[in-house]
Amino acid sequence: MTPSDRRPIPEELLLLCADPVDGRLRVPAATYHRVLAGGVVVELLLDGAITVEERRITGYRPLGGQDEVAAGVLARLEDAGKRRNGFSLDRAIRQVPRRPGSAPFLARLAADGFVTVEQRRFLGLPYRRHVATRPGIGQEIAARVAATLAREAGGAGAPADGRSAADERDRQLAGLIGAGRLDRRVYPGPAGAATRRAVRLLVRELPVARAVRRAVDADSSATAG
């Protein structure tokens, strides 16, 4: 996957979390939904559509051109009006609906040739399966993110105020991988240990990743209860 192939973070999360052969999610659906919601919010942050301070969204401005999921987040912010303390990140993550879910992101990936759509039947009922056109594409994304984190850990990365937009996207993606506790799946074994450590540090550092982790933990507690 070349730099020009970079996809919006929700799409890259989908490519990371889905089995490249059968298209099925390799993580719990509830966890993926929270991580996907975080990806939508991160895209808005990186695009300058929202500003964030710690646990709150402190400003927003519609830029146009957002997909329906991101547009819904901005619409809810607009409906809430200008609150004295802003709008909480936790609430923004929780309010991303489960539908349409991955559908708009899968549609874009299919339109651009990253996945193919297969028509199948089960017990006589039709369904569609999305399969990566290149089985190793998720590994390519994971390797790119790992390389970015390794540069920063080795002191070769730029300071925060001079960090490239591409490197910041990789950091935010890594934070979401960690927030959903996907790091052991994406970076398994001893070879992935250093990357996992860097990912976990980003979960503590990045506000959206922290909000996603709180949502995932709340879901787990509710299920256990």
CATH 1.10.3630.10 is right for the domain spanning 3-216: yes
The angle subtended at Cα 39 by Cα 37 and Cα 42, nearest 5°, is 115
Are 16 and 186 in contact by the 8 Å Cβ rule? The answer is yes
14-23, 146-155, 181-190: which has the minimum mean pLDDT?
14-23
Whole-number average pLDDT of the chain: 85
**Residue 33 confidence (pLDDT):** 93
- Dump pLDDT digits (tens) for 30-60: 899 999 999 999 999 999 999 999 999 988 8
Residues forming a β-bridge with 97 = none
- Dump pLDDT digits (tens) for 111-153: 898 988 776 666 666 556 677 878 889 999 999 999 999 998 8
Task: Read off the pLDDT band of 212 (50, 70, 90).
Answer: very high
Residue with structure tokens 């999921």? Answer: 69
Give how far the C-alpha of residue 104 lies from the chain's centroid of Cα atoms, to the nearest Å. 14
pLDDT at 86 exceeding the cut of 70? no
Q: Which of 97, 46, 110 is nearest to 69 (CA)?
A: 97
Task: Read off the pLDDT band of 83 (50, 70, 90).
Answer: low
Residue with structure tokens 């409906």? Answer: 79
Domain extents in the chain = 3-216
Q: Is the pTM value of this prediction over 0.95?
A: no
pLDDT at 224 exceeding the cut of 60? yes
Strand, coil or helix: what is 128?
Answer: strand
